[in-house]
Amino acid sequence: MRRKTWQYATTLPAEKLSQIQNPLIKPERYVEHAYNPVHRRYEYDPAGELSRTLDKLRGEVTYEYEANGRL
């Protein structure tokens, strides 16, 4: 049994999704800003492994990996 990991939330064509439909709506209202309390930033090391997360709730969390690749 396979697990569903994602699903499309809309059936609109790409050109509709990439254009502002209502010119009265300001897109900057919906942009995620660094001061947003739910904002989270991920940083990765050169090997592509997660090395650090930053968010307003938990602050900075750093990750180190052992030689065998364990977190």
pLDDT in tens, 42-63: 898 888 888 998 887 788 999 9
Choose among 45, 38, 37, 39: nearest CA to 62.
45
What does the pLDDT read at residue 68?
86
What does the pLDDT read at residue 31?
59
Choose among 34, 36, 66: nearest CA to 49.
66
Check residues 6 and 62 and name the one with the higher pLDDT. Answer: 62
Q: What is the DSSP string of 13-59?
A: -HHHHTS-S-TTS-GGGSS--TTSTT-EEEEE-TTS-EEEEEETTTE
